[in-house]
Chains A and B, each alone.
Chain A
């Protein structure tokens, strides 16, 4: 890795962190209208979701370390290995929250959430496919940090797919409940 590339990565990470902090500050400020609000049941669901995600990441860390120890070779560089764990944890969390109806907050719109995730998905897949074409995704048999976009894209598709399936099932269930009310 040359100096220019390293400088580019560091600049990207710093800019990403600054952007995240600005968004987080804006979202946590009351009265902005974009701070997600969850009711008590949703908060409970999200808490359990975090717990499952935490244990999944613990299991992944152990399993990945064990696998490298047994195989006596590196499978992925530090950044890629770490990010796979984050993606699996986030996937477990999102899956639990979606199916227990705690993913979309009270002031969020289903369509808007789906559009944002779809944009994230397309953006990351675009960059991921670029890395595949460059042939830099795997170097010397080791998955490199360039796989992060692809992993992010896969995670986004996973979330999007579940949101869609859940939405379809809910629409059917809701109609049944409304008919029962009448």
Chain B
């Protein structure tokens, strides 16, 4: 499942995938894979991304259930 919340938060900070990747110490492809839903990051990387984007884990990674 695509992580549109992460993509929106990154765009809100006016950061490119490369810039966010450098901030959290991963490759651009890893950020791209997380946004596309192709890779599930560890909690450590989630926290690093949240800190870089000044968001909480809930705001970026919590998926609301349908029912």
Count residues of B near A (Cβ-Cβ below 8 Å).
17
Q: How far is the CA of A177 from the CA of B36 in the complex (A)?
A: 11
Does the CB pair B26–A178 fall under 8 Å?
Answer: no
Q: How far is the CB of B42 from chain A (nearest CB, A)?
A: 6
Residues in B with CB closer than 8 Å to A41 are: 26-27, 29-30, 33, 39, 41
When the two chains form their complex, are residues B33 and A39 in contact, meaning their CB atoms are under 8 A apart? no
Report whether A106 and B27 are in contact in the complex, using a CB–CB cutoff of 8 Å.
yes
Does residue A42 face the partner (Cβ distance < 8 Å to B)? yes
**Considering the chains assembled together, what is the distance between the CA atoms of A42 and B32 in angstroms?**
13
Select the residue from A39, A40, A41, A42 with max chain B CB neighbours within 10 A: A41
Minimal Cβ-Cβ distance residue in B for A174: B28
Is B25 interfacial (CB 8 A cutoff)?
yes
> B35: shortest Cβ distance to chain A, in Å?
9
Interface size on A, residues (CB 8 A): 10
Contact B25 A106, beta carbon cutoff 8 Å: yes
Indicate with 1 or 0, residue by residue over A12-50, a CB within 8 angstroms of chain B CB atoms.
Answer: 000000000000000000000000000111100000000
Contact between chains at B30 and A42 (CB < 8 Å) = yes
Question: Does A178 lie within 8 Å of B16, measured CB to CB?
Answer: yes
Min CB gap B45→A, angstroms: 6
User: Which 8 A-B pairs rank lowest in CB-CB distance, beginning with the nearest?
Assistant: A39-B26, A101-B29, A41-B30, A41-B39, A39-B30, A39-B27, A40-B42, A106-B27
Jot down 18 A-B pairs with beta carbons below 8 A, ordered by A. Answer: A39-B30, A39-B45, A40-B26, A40-B41, A40-B42, A40-B45, A41-B27, A41-B29, A41-B33, A41-B39, A41-B41, A101-B27, A106-B26, A106-B27, A174-B28, A177-B32, A181-B7, A181-B11
Additional pairs, 16, CB under 8 Å, beyond known A42-B27, A106-B26: A39-B25, A39-B26, A40-B26, A40-B44, A40-B45, A41-B27, A41-B33, A41-B39, A101-B29, A106-B25, A106-B27, A178-B16, A181-B7, A181-B11, A181-B16, A181-B17
B residues at A contact (CB < 8 Å)? 7, 11, 16-17, 25-30, 32-33, 39, 41-42, 44-45
